[in-house]
Amino acid sequence: MATNVTENQAAVAEKLMITPSPHVKDSIDTKQIMLTVVAALIPAMLAAIYYFGFRTLIMTAVSAAACVVFEYLFNMVTKREQSIGDCSAIVTGVILAFNVPVTLPIWMLIFGDFIAIVVVKCLFGGIGCNFANPAATARIFLLVSFAGQMTHWIAPHSAIDSVATATPLSIIASGEGTLPSVMDMLLGNRGGSMGETCALALIIGGVFLIWKGIIYWQIPVSVIASVFVFALLFGENPVYAILSGGVMIGAFFMATDYSTSPVTGKGKIVFGIGIGFITMVIRTFCNYPEGMSFAILLMNILTPHIDSLTINKPFGAVFENKSKKEGA
Amino acid sequence: MSFLQQKTLSGARVKHFKNTENCASVEIPLPKEVCISMSQHMGPPCKPTVAKGDSVKVGTLIGDSDAFLSAPIHSSVSGTVKDVTELVTSNGARTQVVIIETDGEQAVEEGIQPPVVSNHPEFVKAIRASGLVGLGGAGFPTHIKMNPKNLSEVDTLVVNAAECEPYITSDYRTIVERSQDILDGIEAIKKYVGISQVKIAVENNKPQAIELLRRLTAEDPSIEVCSLRSIYPKGAEKVTTYETTGRVIQEGMLPSDVGVIVENVTTTAFIGQYMRTGMPLVSKCLTVDGDAIAEPKNVIVPVGTHYADLVAFCGGYKKPPKKMLMGGPMMGIAVFDDAYPVLKNNNALLVFSAEKVYVSEEHACIRCGRCMSACPYQLMPRQIEVAAKNNDIEKLKKLKVMLCMECGCCSYVCPAKRNLTFSNKLAKQQLRAATAKK
């Protein structure tokens, strides 16, 4: 039964491959994660089409395509490895489109995509290296550049050229007009950016992502909870506070961006509370009726510091300056 | 069982592939020659005690060392020493090997008889003489584990039958086929080391094993069979200890520092068998599996059998082999040559063809945090990778990279396919080198 070892050796030796362990890997990759996020945005897309018409679908598709094209061109011009295959540009494009009013001229949206992908993401090193959330920053850029168009809201089910309506936040800020009912707020039957109005659709998408293990619960829960608490403290209606503006899309889809949020569980909670606090400060005490994007951007800047202050304590680790025995 | 309500350590949901669990172990026909490595345990290698031309029998001492961390090596066959030479291992190191041509007699060395043991020092001496090392994979000399400095404080024996690596079923076969040896081994350790409670850790993907062990130990209140959630790596020593006893083995500690001895189930079974027969550790049961193997089996082989002979016994290669693993797919070592010999602590030989061999380039880290959540010790592999790249030794210390046991979870879950386990390994060497300089 014994084989001639030396003969066999010659036959096999050249073909065997050596790699470090582990020798198996999970099938999940970056592309699959990004496409899952896109899938989670579908309920909000359907709600947007229902309330604001098919123009929302066209704008979203154009925005996603523009992001992919900008990333492709950037990589080509700078002779970098092509990275559009990871599909993260699609997510940025969709989220940015959801953050603008349906009436926004499409060229402005494409300009926003350029800012998001080229300036905020690619110039800082591409996926995983950008310190600021591309969609949130681009939205702020558009808001500052095109203040009129970016705040031209129309009522649901009305024509694109119809008269502007107020958003619940501007009603709260100015104290004029009637607020929609809580049910309308939940279902998204209100003025606002095209993908942010239907809280229910965003919650469904967000819970789906948590269930799939794509995002962790800490950021959305701490953002929503802290907006609620600070609204109470500042004397606002907390239910309207969490259902209005960009809280839901921000909490589930923008603040949870991997590149720009802390990685540790504790850090995520600190980050979420910071966003909730800054959002409510801007809404209550500043000129802007909405502060979600600003809050996300400001906390993005703090992320590296939050990360380095919330390093995990590994299982069984002993730190020299502490003499006491510690458990897990 | 109340401690199981505690938070359990995380890990990776690795597919099990326990294809060979119902393959009863079979003995391989005697190979023409065996090649016995002098480095079969953690610690300095042994020196050969035989020379070319010597005749040896089964159980003849052929290698020994004066070093504290070592275990003697015995011949697994009877025959003539053909050569004492060197072999290049897959990590690039050279090791001495004794090549023995078999005579087919399998005559047993004179004087092999059950050890006479009446107290703890004699037990430790007998275990050392048996050449036993941890058979779960690490190959830590067992007699050292059995002789902790704080003997009186050690009260618990954890028998590790988790077998969390995919594919491997040799420990499972031990439970099914050699349950009496396991119980005898436990009895011996309890008696001579002064153990009051025994925990047998089995992953819950082996319900028959759990049921069998519970039935056999039902009358002994000191033995508890613990069913662990099958999330890799439940068989890692610190993880098993924590999940069965709730005790945390801290950085730089040995299990005995928290009053625990952890033994692999096959190691325990060997102790039981050795106390009865006195035959040193000369054979090992291996799971031979993988898509390139024609007939996957559990095979009992003499230590030193060439992998090629093992593969031939399992029907040869069904497809051209691309990767050959000594051990499981998560922590196993890739070998470059099927002339490599079986070591005492091997528990599997897996051979994969090109289609099952995973090759992917590393992509940019997306900071998803999966590596960190999968790490059983909550280390931060990506941060370690960055700190190592920046040669930031202080940061590496702060991130506790030395705790990493290289279980492979971080690399397994990484969506960007980064080789984080490997970068951790390099970071550990970097830190070691930097601290040694001072």
The reply to whether residue B419 touches residue A311, judged by beta carbons under 8 angstroms, is no
Find, among B379, B431, B371, the residue nearest to B405 by Cα.
Answer: B379
The reply to whether residue B403 touches residue A259, judged by beta carbons under 8 angstroms, is no
pLDDT tier for residue A322 given thresholds of 50, 70 and 90: very low
CB atoms within 10 A of CB A54: 9
The reply to whether residue B414 touches residue A25, judged by beta carbons under 8 angstroms, is yes
The reply to whether residue A312 touches residue B379, judged by beta carbons under 8 angstroms, is yes
Q: Is A227 left (phi over 0), alpha (psi -120 to 50) or beta?
A: alpha
B interface mutation test: which of A4, A6, A12 has the most B CBs within 10 A?
Answer: A12
Q: Which of A9, A259, A326 sits opposite B366 (nearest CB)?
A: A259
Task: Give bridge partners of residue B96 from the DSSP assignment.
Answer: B86
pLDDT at res. A11: 54
Q: Mean per-residue pLDDT for A194-214?
A: 95
Domains parsed from chain B with CATH numbers: 2-20+113-277 (3.40.50.11540), 370-437 (no CATH)
Q: Which of A15, A26, A259 sits opposite B321 (nearest CB)?
A: A15
Instruction: State which H helix or E strand residue B86 sits in.
Output: strand B79-88
pLDDT at res. A170: 85
Separation in Å, CA of A170 to nearest CA in chain B = 36
Q: Is B263 helix (H, G, I), strand (E, B) or coil?
A: strand
Q: Is B423 helix (H, G, I), strand (E, B) or coil?
A: helix
Q: Please tell me the pTM assigned to this model.
A: 0.90
Residues A72-109 have pLDDT tens digits of 999 999 999 999 999 999 999 999 999 999 999 999 99
Domains parsed from chain A with CATH numbers: 30-307 (1.10.3430)
Longest dimension (CA), chain A: 93
Q: Do A52 and A194 touch, CB atoms closer than 8 A?
A: yes
Backbone angles phi, psi at A204, to 5 degrees: -60, -50
pLDDT at res. A178: 84
The reply to whether residue A314 touches residue B379, judged by beta carbons under 8 angstroms, is yes
Extract the tokens encoding B294. 């024609």
The reply to whether residue B411 touches residue A83, judged by beta carbons under 8 angstroms, is no
Q: Do B56 and B330 touch, CB atoms closer than 8 A?
A: no
pLDDT at res. A287: 81
Q: How far is CA B304 from CA A6, B32, B286, in A?
A: 15, 11, 12
pLDDT at res. A158: 85
Q: Which of A24, A88, A326 sits opposite B330 (nearest CB)?
A: A24
Chain A CB contacts of B313 below 8 Å: 1
The reply to whether residue B251 touches residue A258, judged by beta carbons under 8 angstroms, is no
The reply to whether residue A311 touches residue B399, judged by beta carbons under 8 angstroms, is yes
Pairs across A and B, CB distance < 8 A: 199
Q: How far is CA A218 from CA A223, A262, A266, A300, B120, in A?
A: 8, 11, 8, 16, 53
Instruction: State which H helix or E strand residue B280 sits in.
Output: none
Q: Mean per-residue pLDDT for A257-276?
A: 96
In this predicted structure, the answer to whether residue A253 has a pLDDT above a threshold of 90 is yes
In chain A, the residue whose alpha carbon lies closest to the alpha carbon of B378 is: A314
pLDDT at res. B337: 87
Chain A CB contacts of B248 below 8 Å: 315-316, 327-328
The Cα A196–Cα A95 span in angstroms is 9
In chain B, the residue whose alpha carbon lies closest to the alpha carbon of A33 is: B415
Angle, helices A88-98 vs A106-114, to 10°: value is: 140
AA letter at A231: A
Q: Which of B31, B366, B421 sits opposite A20 (nearest CB)?
A: B421
Chain B CB contacts of A312 below 8 Å: 372, 378-380
B interface mutation test: which of A7, A14, A16 has the most B CBs within 10 A?
Answer: A16
pLDDT at res. A324: 44
The Cα A125–Cα B15 span in angstroms is 35
In chain A, the residue whose alpha carbon lies closest to the alpha carbon of B315 is: A1
The reply to whether residue A258 touches residue B366, judged by beta carbons under 8 angstroms, is yes
Separation in Å, CA of B14 to nearest CA in chain A = 8
Ranges of chain B whose pLDDT falls below 50: 1-5
Residues B19-71 have pLDDT tens digits of 999 999 999 999 999 999 999 988 899 999 999 999 999 999 999 999 999 99
pLDDT at res. A90: 97
A interface mutation test: which of B28, B90, B363 has the most A CBs within 10 A?
Answer: B363
pLDDT tier for residue A227 given thresholds of 50, 70 and 90: very high
pLDDT at res. A6: 44
CA A272 to chain centre: 13
